[in-house]
Each structure stands twice: as structure tokens, then as C-alpha cells.
């Protein structure tokens, strides 16, 4: 039965969820569906579907989220960004999600493209404004993003947490974190946000690194820090894709086991469109999740 994620993540069971992204071109659509079908066989607690930065792949986000939920009977959450859309376009997306029976939305602003002036008058500037709009349009379960190492645009972590509190107070049901590679960063963040009165569930986002070159760039863009231990792994195995994938999956598994051991029950894995990575993680946790 389809459920809202805020209900799915209650209880004592450990839940693992995965993430996929829509194809950049329609020609790749079937390949993405094949990957999604394999990931769904693992029966994750839910699968999230990202939203293309420029908004161009948005119809595919809705289609894939609908396929996961309505054909594969696994809960899905559609990401929705507002940075490249007018308020009317955002409204249109929300009504499409409603029509498809998608109950869960991860509401995001999106990264501001360098070559545009933002915001133009008919756009939302921050995710909290998008959240207010979603709230006014139906009974959705709303997730939002948070950044244990601080959002790149924010000069001070305290200021970032104050903005996060404002966002959550607009009606966020749960948060998912940006990737991090040192669990102490997450535990410390949890402590700081709880102290500021943010009480919603927070799902740590774990990235199994499979491409050494890409991760250096992603970290540069997102501000996530690669600990020395992990940097050594990337330096040693980054040029050997199979070895890098194996090491990345083991490092991610180690992070997940530590999170579970410390009482975290809901963990989101940035498996992207790699069923083999999702399968390897689940195999590594087979006894732990029983």
C-alpha cells in the first residue's frame, strides 16, 4: 500500500531508501527504467527521483516516480525544484504529481545557474516559499534538504540552521542530508539542529563513491569534505573503476553500519542509477537488516 514517507519512517525497523535520476534525453528513458526496476526488487523503503537542474527533464521525474509507485508498488518521492521555473510552472508540476497520485515531494530550490538572473519577479527565491505553495495545494508529505557541513552559499553554519528552522516551520515533514563522508559531522549537526528546535526526522544521505574524479568535483561544488582516510582510497583506486566501486561500496557500508549502531533508523543511499551498487550495499547489510 502506498504510504507517506513520514509514516513509513516511523517505528523501529531500519529503513534503507535509494535515489535515481531521470535521463537527460528521452532516448535513455528505457535504460533508466531497467535500473529502477532492479533497484525496486530490493524492496527499499522508498525510491527518490531527482529533478533536472534546468527543469527540462521534469516530465520524466513525474513519469519515473509514478512508475515506481503505481507499477512497482514501492513508495516514491519526486524531487521538485523552483530555481528554473515560474510560480505558474511550479503549480503545474504540483498538479501533475497530484494527478499521478504521488504523495511525497522533496521540495528544493535547486542550484542557481551561473548564466541567469535570479530570481525574476515571478519566481520563488528560497525552498521555504515553494514549500508554502505545495502545502497550499494538497495533502502532500514534504521533505527538504539540509547540509551538515553548511550550504555552500551560507557564510555561517548558524545562519544556515536558522534558515533551515524557518523552512521546516513552513511544513516540512522530514529532512534528507547532503552527502557526508565522516559520520561525526552528521552526529554533530543533529545535536546542533535539535538544540535549535528542529525536531523532524533527518535521513542521512550516504553516497557510495564509484568514480574518483567525479567525487572531487562534487565535493568542490557541494562543500562536502573528503576525510584523509577516504582521500587515500580515491588516490589509490580512483583510476581503477572496479576497484573504486568496490572500495566506495565498502566505505559507504561502513558508514551505514555505524549509523545503525548509533540508533539511526532511516538511511538514504545515493545509489543513483546503479542497481549493482544498491544490491552490493543490501548484501553487505543482509544480517544487519533482519
The verdict on 60 binding ligand FAD (CB under 6 A) reads: no
Q: CA 228, CA 200: separation in Å to the nearest integer? A: 32
Phi/psi-derived region of residue 288, left when phi > 0, alpha when psi is between -120 and 50, beta in every other case: alpha
Q: Is 18 in the site for ligand FAD (CB under 6 A)?
A: no
Determine the Cα–Cα distance for residues 10 and 257; give it in Å rounded to an integer: 19
Q: What cell does 266 get?
A: 532511516
Q: Which of 45, 81, 271, 273 binds ligand FAD (CB under 6 A)?
A: 81
Catalytic residue among 19, 132, 159, 287: 19
Q: What does the per-residue mask of binding to ligand FAD show for 163-202, with x meaning CB under 6 A? A: x--xx--------x-x------------------------
CB of residue 183 to ligand FAD, shortest distance in Å = 17
Residue nearer to ligand FAD on the CB measure, 126 or 187: 126
Binding to ligand FAD by residue 79, rule CB under 6 A? yes
Residues 85-104, one symbol each (x = binds ligand FAD by CB under 6 A, - = not), give --------------------
Contact flag: residue 151 with ligand FAD (CB under 6 A)? yes
Give how many residues touch ligand FAD by CB under 6 A: 24
Query: What end-to-end distance do the CA atoms of the chain give, in Å?
Result: 21
Q: Identify the helix (H) or strand (E) that includes residue 84.
A: none
Out of 145, 172, 215, 247, the only residue in the binding site for ligand FAD (CB under 6 A) is 145
Residues with Cβ within 8 Å of 23's Cβ and at least 6 positions away in sequence, in order, are 29, 31, 32, 57, 60
Q: Which residue is listed with cell 494527478?
A: 99
CB–CB of 262/186 below 8 Å?
A: no
* Rounded alpha-carbon distances, angstroms, from residue 88 to 67, 75, 84, 98, 141: 25, 27, 12, 15, 21
Q: Does 111 bind ligand FAD (CB under 6 A)?
A: yes
Report in angstroms the alpha-carbon separations of 115 from 26, 40, 166, 212, 218: 25, 37, 29, 28, 20
Residue whose C-alpha cell reads 552526529 in the numeric block? 187
Annotated catalytic residue 129: no
Contact 18, 36 (CB under 8 A): no
Is there binding between residue 53 and ligand FAD (CB under 6 A)? yes
Using rule CB under 6 A, residue 126 touches ligand FAD:
yes
Distance in angstroms (rounded) separating the CA atoms of residues 248 and 13: 25
Query: Given the rule CB under 6 A, which of 90-98, 106-114, 186-194, 242-250 is the region that contacts ligand FAD?
Result: 106-114
Q: Which is nearer to ligand FAD, 202 or 244 (CB)?
A: 202
For ligand FAD, give the closer residue by CB, 108 or 280: 108
**205 belongs to the binding site for ligand FAD (CB under 6 A):** yes
Catalytic sites, residue numbers: 19
- Binding residues vs ligand FAD (CB under 6 A): 50-51, 53, 79, 81, 106, 108-111, 126-128, 145, 151, 153-154, 160, 163, 166-167, 176, 178, 205
Amino acid at each position: 500500500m502506498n504510504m507517506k514517507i513520514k509514516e513509513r519512517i516511523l517505528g523501529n525497523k531500519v529503513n534503507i531508501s535509494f535515489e535515481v535520476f531521470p535521463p537527460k534525453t528521452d532516448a535513455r528513458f528505457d535504460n533508466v527504467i531497467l535500473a529502477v526496476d532492479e533497484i525496486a526488487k530490493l524492496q527499499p523503503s522508498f525510491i527518490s527521483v531527482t529533478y533536472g537542474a534546468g527543469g527540462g527533464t521534469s516530465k520524466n521525474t513525474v513519469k519515473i516516480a509514478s512508475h515506481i509507485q503505481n507499477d512497482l508498488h514501492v513508495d516514491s518521492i519526486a524531487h521538485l525544484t523552483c530555481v528554473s521555473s515560474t510560480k505558474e510552472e511550479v503549480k503545474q508540476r504540483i498538479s501533475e504529481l497530484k494527478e499521478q497520485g504521488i504523495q511525497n515531494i522533496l521540495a528544493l530550490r535547486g542550484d542557481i545557474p551561473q548564466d541567469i538572473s535570479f530570481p525574476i519577479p515571478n519566481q520563488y527565491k528560497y525552498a521555504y516559499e515553494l514549500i508554502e505553495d505545495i502545502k497550499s495545494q494538497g495533502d502532500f508529505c514534504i521533505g527538504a534538504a539540509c547540509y551538515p557541513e553548511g550550504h555552500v552559499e551560507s557564510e555561517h553554519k548558524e545562519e544556515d540552521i536558522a534558515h533551515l528552522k524557518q523552512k521546516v516551520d513552513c511544513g516540512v515533514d522530514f529532512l534528507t542530508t547532503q552527502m557526508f563522508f565522516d559520520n561525526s559531522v552528521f552526529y554533530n549537526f543533529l545535536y546542533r539542529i535539535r538544540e535549535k528546535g528542529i525536531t523532524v526526522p533527518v535521513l542521512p544521505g550516504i553516497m557510495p563513491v564509484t568514480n574518483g574524479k567525479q567525487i572531487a568535483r562534487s565535493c568542490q561544488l557541494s562543500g562536502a569534505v573528503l576525510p584523509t582516510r577516504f582521500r587515500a582510497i580515491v588516490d589509490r583506486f580512483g583510476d581503477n573503476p572496479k576497484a573504486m566501486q568496490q572500495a566506495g561500496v565498502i566505505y559507504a557500508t561502513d558508514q551505514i553500519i555505524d549509523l545503525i549502531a548509533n540508533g539511526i533508523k532511516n538511511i538514504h543511499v545515493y545509489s543513483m542509477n546503479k542497481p549493482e551498487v544498491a544490491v552490493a550495499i543490501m548484501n553487505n547489510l543482509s544480517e544487519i537488516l533482519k
